Amino acid sequence: MAQSSVWAGKVLALVKGGNTPAAIAQIKVAPSVKDLLAFKKALAAAQLAGRWRDLDAAVDDNLALLAAPRLHRAP
């Protein structure tokens, strides 16, 4: 069984701690679309979605960038 990524939880902890610039920096280097979607879901579950406009914009922008077929991150 594959181990799930803990990236979303770590970035959510940054947001809850009030360090949104660090969270945005981590979002820009997100490992995968799956991790970004898990983070977006965690934000909604913690009722933090929509509180920071720049954070939401970073998530949406990087989801679009990672979803593009010509752009991907090497392992």
Q: What pLDDT does residue 1 have?
A: 42
Whether the predicted pLDDT of 56 surpasses 80: yes
* 6-47 tens-digit pLDDT: 999 999 999 999 999 999 999 999 888 899 999 999 999 988
The one-letter code for the residue type at 63 is L
* Cβ-Cβ contacts under 8 Å for 50 (sequence gap 6 or more): 56
Give the C-alpha separation, 68 to 14, whole Å.
27
Side-chain-side CA neighbours of residue 38 (13 Å): 15
Give the C-alpha separation, 19 to 23, whole Å.
6
